[in-house]
Structure 1
Amino acid sequence: MAVPEHLQQHLTAGRVLAAAYGYRDRFAPSPTGVLHLGNLQTALLSWLAARQAGGGWMLRIDDLDTPRNRAGAIEAIQRDLIWLGLHWDGPPVLQSERRGTYHSWLSWLRRSGRLFACRCSRRELAGQPIYPGVCRQARHSWGMQQQRLPSWRLRVADDDPHGSGDVVLRRADGFIAYQLATVIDDISFGITDVVRGADLREALPAQHSLFAALGEDPPRFRHGPLLRDARGRKLSKREASAGLEPLRAAGMDAPAVIGCLASGLQLVPPDARLSATELLDDLTHKDITALIS
């Protein structure tokens, strides 16, 4: 079943943007709280890679999971990035404002026979890293049954090289799944490269399977190193999660924070002080992508 014209427009727009920029990345935090130091290190690395390539850097807010969103978090994310000098191109994109787009793609995938309704509970699937295909051949209702909606899964071939299993595209609570929204956005906004945290490496198989199902090439995905202090020691989650406020309260300004993050990436010596732009200039002869894989 061919992609309808109104969805083809998304594909065309993405290709135009990708061609115009050559290199286009996105930083996509969820507004569940302040940006922690791990987020900020990833943002810095992503920004540096995009600017070193002469490309674009987009800010996308992944705010679809509304029960987890915190009031004021979107504004705080933008303030922190601006304070650090990590400026993005164009207006921020809020996924909550693109629900119609995601539902249009979801509807087309369902009409084309690529989806099936799955009524497996999390408890039933516990301990199974790949969905075992329990509901793939069943004829479950798409609507409410025993006060529960089904999840909607993409039917992925058994010989799919990515090993993702059948990917959830709409959750049982009715929310659009992260995998669908992020893939559609990467296509629509011409994302060619994604530098993100190592914790998202496990999302690769599902995203690759969905790109393949849509007949689109995925971006080049690379994953930054774990957050470490200036001595190379891994920071604990508690140390990393507080964000910028404790650093500001301790008297650190933006150049000091950039220096701290950059020294954690072993780009500069400990106690360095420099702006994001100065750091970029200092790295003229050092390939940022060598730090990520």
Structure 2
Amino acid sequence: MSMIHPTAIVDPKAQLDSTVEVGAYSIIGPNVQIGARTVVGPHVVIEGHTTIGEDNKFFQFSSIGAAPQDKKWAGEPTRLEVGHRNTVREFCTFNLGTTQDKGVTRLGNDNWISAYVHLAHDCQVGSNTIFSNNAQLAGHVEVGDWAILSGYAGVHQFCKIGAHAFVGMYTSLTQDVPPFVLVSGNPAGARGVNIEGLKRRGFTRPQIDAIRAAYKSIYRNNLTLDEAKAALAQQQADAPDAAQHIGAMLDFLGSATRGIVR
């Protein structure tokens, strides 16, 4: 039995694994590749140079791989890449990249993307993230693994959100968020460490304590950013069990381009 509904329109040039399901009235363009066991619900449009991996689920009314909302885009063959085992709920919009950046918008693996989420051009989203309803990313945003964006969170273009960070509901984010940090408000402010998330992911008490100490060096000890970096370097040496995690915070501070939420 065919896995493609008779009302769906699938371009003959599209490359779909034989196990892909396509629902009623969905449209699949000629430059689309879709991996095994992915399910495309009804009324979904997938277009552009879009590659989708295995075991994904796209719910109804999403627009995947449409042209970037960028006036500089002139039809270049930029791309969208979606990994494996992602859940994409209703009315989501994922755009292609632009030649002004990496030329590709990426979504990793095992992400939970709720309804009305927008991933703009050139966004780079890691794996195991959660985006609640109406979370919105402007262009060129980077989101690390295990990060959580609550409902209606809005992220300014070129911002970076570190791994395991948590962005609260209705937060307006215009600066970078270091790994493990919980931010909320409009404008956003740092509210502590995402301790509950770290516990759920198996971080040990000594590791969490070391991350909290690093957080205090950045946010609570009245240090300049350079002084905080020096403090983190010392803490990294003193806490071998958490050295990798403190190192991730230190590396992030060195690469922040818009300044960090403080």
TM-score, structure 1 length as denominator?
A: 0.18
Q: Larger % of helix: which?
A: 1
TM-score, structure 2 length as denominator?
A: 0.20
Q: Larger % of strand: which?
A: 2
